[in-house]
């Protein structure tokens, strides 16, 4: 596999990371987003993630499964779930030296927003050591999306794909890159919200949002290398990315949306459902790949 292919996959992952910065751009024009809008955005991200996982990754994994029982695919799904859960448990029990008014912050103390609040404080203080630590935390959440992009490029260069910059790019890879990019926009908004409250500049919010997704291009290249050099394990790679992403939706995105919309009529469930429906609609073309 040529170096050019790895560079191309890295650039695709970098595009998804840069898309996170788009979530902070609205703060150049408005001071805040309503809770209704934030809930809907989390719903869109959830709909996109689940649709891309089921219609794209799982479906493709089943197509590659050699046996009647897709053992590798199922094993990958389980491995993705276990990794996210184990990482979250490890992080929830850790203390990080980003101090609030009362002292050090324990990650689990501030709910689903804790890593974003810690990241905002690290950027406000400009502490490189703490920023590296926060990047390690965010890797848990960004890496699965990078893996999803990487495995979707497994057939890069083979006939039948779209011609982009001289490369034959699989349709699944195009949709997966677009899907993760769209999903990253509300992630960027969520990261920027605590930074706005702390008075950080608009461009620092954009930089922080992009910084949070830097593990994605790295994960994309690692996953691409894995499925390229071990084609037999491709269903495992598809299952791993799908399991991790769906689990993140169920355990983090949906709870985040419901927490944000707690003060809205019916707890923001209508906005959440509408957002999920919009996200699924965006991904429907995956059904025709």
Residue-wise pLDDT tens digits, 197-209: 777 788 888 888 8
Q: What is the mean pLDDT of residues 80-106?
A: 64
pLDDT of residue 6: 92
Residues 6+ apart with CB under 8 A from 208: 24, 119, 120, 123, 191, 192, 195, 200
pLDDT score, position 37: 87
- φ, ψ dihedrals at 161, nearest 5°: -95, 180
From residue 165, how far is each of 11, 38, 150, 176 by CA, in Å? 12, 36, 18, 18
Identify whether the C-beta of residue 156 lies closer than 8 Å to the C-beta of residue 170. Answer: yes
Distances (CA, A) of 5 to 36, 88, 169: 42, 33, 10
How far is 229 from 100, CA to CA, in rounded Å? 47
Q: Determine the Cα–Cα distance for residues 98 and 102; give it in Å rounded to an integer.
A: 11
Tell me: pLDDT of 17 over 60: yes
Please, which residues have CB within 8 angstroms of residue 276's CB and are 6 or more apart in sequence? 43, 44, 46, 47, 50
Distance (Å, whole) CA 213 – CA 218: 10
* pLDDT bucket at 106, cuts 50 / 70 / 90: very low
Residue 19 has pLDDT above 80, yes or no: yes
Question: Where does the pLDDT of residue 34 fall: very low under 50, low under 70, confident under 90, or very high at 90 and above?
Answer: confident
Q: What band does 15 get if pLDDT is binned at 50, 70 and 90?
A: very high
Region 22-40: mean pLDDT is: 84
Q: Which of 100, 134, 97 is nearest to 119 (CA)?
A: 134
Instruction: Specify the number of domains making up the chain.
Output: 1
Closest C-alpha among 72, 42, 51 to residue 275 = 42
Residues of the domain holding 85: 3-288
- DSSP conformation class of 263: T
> Of 82, 86, 72, nearest to 237 (Cα)?
72
Return phi, psi of residue 255, to 5°.
-60, -40
Output the pLDDT for position 115.
57
Digit-coded pLDDT (tens) for 67-84:
667 888 999 999 999 988
**Per-residue pLDDT averaged across 9-37, rounded?**
88
The mean predicted confidence, pLDDT, of the chain is 80
Spatial separation of the C-alpha atoms in residues 83 and 223, rounded to whole Å: 15
pLDDT score at 138: 64
The confidence score (pLDDT) of residue 109 equals 41
Model pLDDT for residues 118-159, shown as the tens digit of each residue: 666 666 666 666 666 666 666 666 788 889 999 999 888 776
Least confident of 8-22, 56-70, 163-177, 267-281: 56-70
pLDDT band for position 107 (50/70/90)? very low
Range 111-122 average pLDDT: 56
Beta strands in the chain (DSSP E): 95-100, 103-106, 162-164, 167-169
């Amino acid at each position: 596999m040529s170096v050019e292919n790895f560079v191309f996959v890295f650039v695709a992952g970098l595009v998804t990371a840069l898309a996170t910065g788009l979530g902070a751009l609205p703060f150049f024009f408005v001071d805040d987003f309503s809770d209704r809008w934030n809930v809907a955005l989390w719903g869109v991200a959830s709909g996109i993630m689940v649709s891309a996982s089921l219609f794209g990754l799982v479906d493709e994994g089943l197509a590659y499964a050699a046996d009647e029982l897709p053992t590798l695919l199922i094993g990958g799904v389980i491995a993705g779930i276990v990794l996210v859960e184990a990482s979250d448990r490890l992080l929830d029990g850790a203390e990080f030296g980003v101090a609030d008014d009362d002292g050090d912050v324990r990650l689990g103390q501030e709910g689903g927003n804790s890593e974003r609040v810690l990241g905002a404080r690290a950027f406000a203080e400009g502490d490189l050591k703490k920023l590296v630590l926060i990047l390690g935390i965010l890797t848990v959440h960004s890496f699965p999306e990078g893996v999803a992009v990487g495995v979707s490029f497994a057939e890069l260069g083979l006939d039948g794909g779209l011609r982009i910059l001289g490369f034959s790019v699989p349709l699944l890879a195009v949709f997966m890159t677009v899907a993760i990019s769209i999903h990253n926009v509300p992630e960027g908004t969520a990261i920027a919200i605590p930074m706005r409250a702390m008075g950080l500049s608009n461009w620092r919010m954009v930089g922080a949002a992009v910084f949070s997704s830097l593990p994605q291009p790295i994960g994309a290249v690692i996953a691409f290398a894995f499925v390229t050099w071990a084609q037999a394990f491709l269903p495992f790679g598809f299952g791993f990315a799908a399991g991790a992403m769906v689990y993140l939706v169920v355990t983090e995105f949906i709870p985040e949306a419901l927490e944000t919309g707690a003060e809205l009529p019916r707890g923001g469930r209508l906005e959440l459902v509408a957002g999920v429906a919009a996200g699924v609609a965006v991904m429907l073309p995956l059904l025709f790949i």
